[in-house]
Amino acid sequence: MTRNNSHKNSIRKEIYVIAGIFAIVFLGMIFYLISFLKNDSKEFIYNSYNARFSVFADDVTRGNIYTEDGHVMAKTTKDDEGKEVRVYPDERLFCHSVGYVGKGMAGLEARYSFDLLKSHITLKDQINNSLTGVKSQGDSLYTTFDYDTQKAAFEGLGLFDGAVIAIEPDTGKIISMVSKPDYNPNTIAEYWDDINDEENNSSVLLNRATNGSYPPGSTFKIITTLAYLREHSGDPSFSFDCKGSIDVSDYTIHCSSNKKHGSEDLLKAFSNSCNSAYAYMGINLDRDKFIKTAEDLLFNKELPTLLDSTKKSAFKIDGDTKESIVAQTAIGQGATSVSPLHMAMIVSAIANDGIIMEPYIADKIISEDGEIVSQTEPVSFGRLISQSEVDLLNDYMEAVVMDGTADSVDFGDLKVYGKTGTAEYSNNKKLTHSWFVGYATDNNGKKLAIAVIMEGAGYGSKYAAPLAAKVFNAYFEK
């Protein structure tokens, strides 16, 4: 009897153990499912290798992609044999943003492929289409792009490699984004081998606006100015006698054309883009505070955006960094690099009273029947710059346009706040990228922030700033 009870107790324990193991496994699966649905399901569903895509494509015609003002950026048509073909009417104009369908997928075509292959037409129409063997029309994606602004940026960049990105500061909407060199998504499959030939060293698939990495040149003086203000409790008192160059340890930093700016306060040093003054300023800043200011402005960090941006901007100085490198870094050379997107976000924050909005392109998904399926709401990442700092930076950036390095640029009737930059990118100091960052506003308070870089073009005031003026005018003339 005792042995029998002992045997029963042993079996009961084994059952409890097995039940416990199953309970743990079950709870683990529930936890994984919740985690997957919350964090990873979207990436899985949107993966172009997901077999469900082929099933959707059998029943649904891929939806169109539009600009905000209704211009068709991508659509599906049929060729002479009745086969569906994805067509991009503007060819290269939106290539890095819209992407392509063909050799895999890229851009918005990839990220929103699942949405474009879903149809929210009425159930009656779906049933009728299914019974008659007709494909239902997929939902369409409306972006934040403005066609005329995009065209002005694309044509203005011309034959130069580089990027233009323009952002609505109070929402984060990307109004325009251009990158060159570019490609024609209509012929991506035909020229795929050439595009990916390592010997050609092609970089046409790289979106320089979001993933380009450049020395910021004098546009970085915005960050150095902020570091100075923060170290001095917001007091802008500063004086420097510019003699056209400054020696820092074993290195000489020259002002543009060795111009002697003479006696300068902070506003004059900024508007003149005086390298000597900012080199002096940089080496006298507390390095830990300098680093903190740069990182407060998202250097060395992931940018808050759903855009395909993987390139962190870099600010690489520490206590052991040579003074000459710190001096160069303070003027946007040396140990710093940045993407055009990042610079556009910084000036957007200045335009938006110090608050940065997360940039986005996809505005809404709309069914063939005109019903809004989903819509993106603007998201604030928070305040990066105090109101008092914004007020001072606005004064300095306005002075750049009024009587500083960009005073020869015709911005029309717009009120513009900006900073030019001329960034050396090789040992040959005559080879320079042309930068302009800033924002414009009209009499109604409407604003547009911008970052322009033209590779190897030369002075920012001569090339990038006039291009920014063209983009501003195209946007505000609507």
Stretch 211-225: mean pLDDT: 96
Predicted confidence (pLDDT) at residue 381 exceeds the cutoff of 90: yes
The CATH architecture of the domain made up of 211-361+377-476 is 3-Layer(aba) Sandwich (3.40)
Per-residue pLDDT averaged across 327-350, rounded?
A: 96
Question: Would you state the pLDDT for residue 347?
Answer: 98
Structure tokens at 239: 């004086």
Pair 143, 73: CB distance under 8 Å: yes
Residue-wise pLDDT tens digits, 417-435: 999 999 988 766 668 999 9
What is the model's pLDDT at position 55? 58
- According to DSSP, the residues that pair with 133 across neighbouring strands are none
Give CA–CA dist 354/352, Å, rounded.
Answer: 6
Distance CA 129, CA 46 (A): 25
pLDDT at position 2: 53
The rounded radius of gyration (Å) of the Cα atoms in the chain is 27
Q: Is the pLDDT of residue 131 over 70?
A: yes
Would you tell me how many other CB atoms lie within 10 Å of the CB of residue 290?
A: 24
Q: What would the two tokens of residue 151 be?
A: 């065209």
Please give the pLDDT value at position 30: 65
The domain limits of the chain are 1-45, 211-361+377-476
Buried b (16+ CB within 10 A) or exposed e, 426-436: eeeeeebbbbb
Query: Is residue 17's pLDDT more than 90?
Result: no
User: 48-57, 236-245, 329-338: which range is least confident on average?
Assistant: 48-57
- The distance from CA 171 to its chain's CA centroid, rounded to whole angstroms, is 14
Q: Tens digit of pLDDT for each residue in 252-279?
A: 999 998 999 999 999 999 999 999 999 9
Compute the CA torsion angle 350, 356, 361, 366 (nearest 10 deg): -120
Which residue reads 């039940």 in tokens? Answer: 19
**Rounded CA gap, 380 and 236, in Å?**
29
For 442-445, which contacts have Cβ atoms below 8 Å and span 24 or more sequence positions? Answer: 442/413, 442/414, 442/415, 442/476
pLDDT the model gives residue 137 = 87
Structure-model confidence comparison of residues 385 and 191, the more confident one: 385
- Those residues whose C-beta lies under 8 Å from the C-beta of residue 390, and which sit 6 or more positions away, are 350, 353, 354
Picking from 132, 131, 106, the residue whose alpha carbon sits closest to that of residue 46 is: 106
Residue 413, Cβ density class (10 Å: 0-12 exposed, 13-18 middle, ≥19 buried): exposed
